[in-house]
């Protein structure tokens, strides 16, 4: 069995500028940790990002939950992304017809395509959602993730839905760089060793926690070891496990949790590639 390629080797082989950039940051910072910063005030948002930035390859946002949003937030976010060397992923979960998602991606208050290196979409409308988003994002060198699975109890994204998501991605691999999923999905034909063929989709995985199994609203957590080593995923996405309670940001605690998850994710990856 050939050795599993490192992030750095995959970065060299990858054709997508967005995927290549992400794989390069992962290798450079030795971090496969994406921090999800789901807080509602600009000041807290920027404070958490400044603290976790050194430990993260990617910062995931839900920009529409910021109550006091104004365009300066984007400039500050971009400055932090340069200062700490991370990419930005707006978790927008587009789900409409091509024409509408193209407008939602390019326009409105948030102008997501202008600052978010990576975004995501539900495959539910069919392939036209990808072509709609690609019409905006591809010329900018952006990358798209399809939601092939979700972390929540009772998710409908299973079985043939997941398979179709993979098929849609393959047909549009000039813009789709990977999936939000819970595992490598070898049963639907993704190679265990991404990068071994021409095809190399990234698997980014939410629902990661070291101290809790879930929340009261259907979220389910697994550990970095389960996600990266046992399930073959590439990037762990961690929110509340790191920033804790959003109404009271404890800088010291946030920093030590970011460090802890970064170490756990990287150790799981090192075990995976040495197998
Ligand atoms: F696609 C998904 C999914 O299947 N599960 C998720 O939890 C996305 N998420 C996001 O990851 C969700 O919207 C949150 O922003 C984040 C998980 O946050 P947590 O605080 O780690 O539970």
Residues 209-236: tens digit of each pLDDT: 999 999 999 999 999 999 999 999 999 9
Quick one: average pLDDT of 67-88?
98
Q: Is the CB of 232 under 6 A from ligand 1?
A: no
Mutate to test the pocket of ligand 1, among 207, 245, 257 (most ligand atoms within 8 A of CB): 207
Name the band, by pLDDT with cuts 50, 70 and 90, for residue 268: very high
Q: Is the pLDDT of residue 1 over 70?
A: no
Just list the catalytic residues: 93
Strands (E), the chain: 33-36, 58-61, 87-94, 118-121, 143-147, 176-180, 202-205, 235-238
Q: Is the CB of 206 under 6 A from ligand 1?
A: yes
Q: What is the pLDDT of residue 3?
A: 79
Q: Is the CB of 147 under 6 A from ligand 1?
A: yes
Q: If you measure from the C-alpha of residue 3 to the centroid of ligand 1, how many angstroms do you get, rounded to a whole number?
A: 31
Q: Please count the other Cβ atoms lying within 10 Å of the Cβ belonging to residue 240.
A: 17
- Which residue puts its alpha carbon closest to atom 10 of ligand 1? 206
DSSP string, 29-43: HT--EEEE---SSHH
- Which residue puts its alpha carbon closest to atom 4 of ligand 1? 150
Q: What is the pLDDT of residues 143-193, one digit of tens each?
A: 999 999 999 999 999 999 999 999 999 999 999 999 999 999 987 777 667
Q: Classify 85 in phi/psi space as left (phi over 0), alpha (psi -120 to 50) or beta.
A: left
On whether the CB atoms of residues 38 and 65 are closer than 8 A, the answer is yes
What is the reported pTM?
0.97
């Amino acid at each position: 069995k050939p050795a599993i390629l490192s992030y750095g080797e995959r970065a060299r082989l990858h054709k997508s500028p967005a995927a290549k950039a992400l794989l390069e940051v992962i290798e450079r910072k030795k971090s496969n940790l994406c921090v999800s910063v789901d807080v509602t005030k600009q000041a807290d948002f920027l404070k958490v990002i400044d603290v976790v930035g050194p430990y993260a390859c990617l910062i995931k946002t839900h920009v529409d939950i910021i109550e006091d949003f104004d365009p300066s937030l984007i400039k500050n976010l971009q400055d932090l992304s340069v200062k700490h060397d991370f990419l930005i992923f707006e978790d927008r979960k587009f789900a409409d017809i091509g024409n509408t998602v193209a407008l939602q991606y390019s326009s409105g208050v948030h102008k997501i395509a202008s600052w978010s290196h990576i975004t995501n979409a539900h495959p539910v409308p069919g392939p036209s959602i990808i072509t709609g988003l690609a019409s905006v994002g591809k010329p900018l060198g952006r990358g798209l993730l399809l939601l092939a699975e979700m972390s929540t109890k009772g998710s409908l994204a299973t079985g043939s839905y997941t398979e179709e998501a993979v098929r849609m991605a393959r047909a549009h691999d000039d813009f789709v760089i990977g999936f939000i999923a819970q595992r490598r999905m070898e049963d639907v034909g993704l190679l265990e060793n991404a990068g071994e063929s021409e095809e190399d989709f990234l698997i980014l995985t939410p629902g990661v926690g070291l101290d809790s199994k879930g929340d009261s609203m259907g979220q389910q957590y697994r550990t970095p070891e389960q996600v990266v080593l046992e399930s073959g995923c590439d990037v762990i996405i961690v929110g509340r496990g790191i920033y804790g309670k959003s109404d009271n940001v404890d800088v010291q605690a946030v920093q030590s949790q970011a460090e802890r998850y970064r170490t756990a994710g990287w150790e799981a990856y090192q075990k995976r590639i040495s197998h």
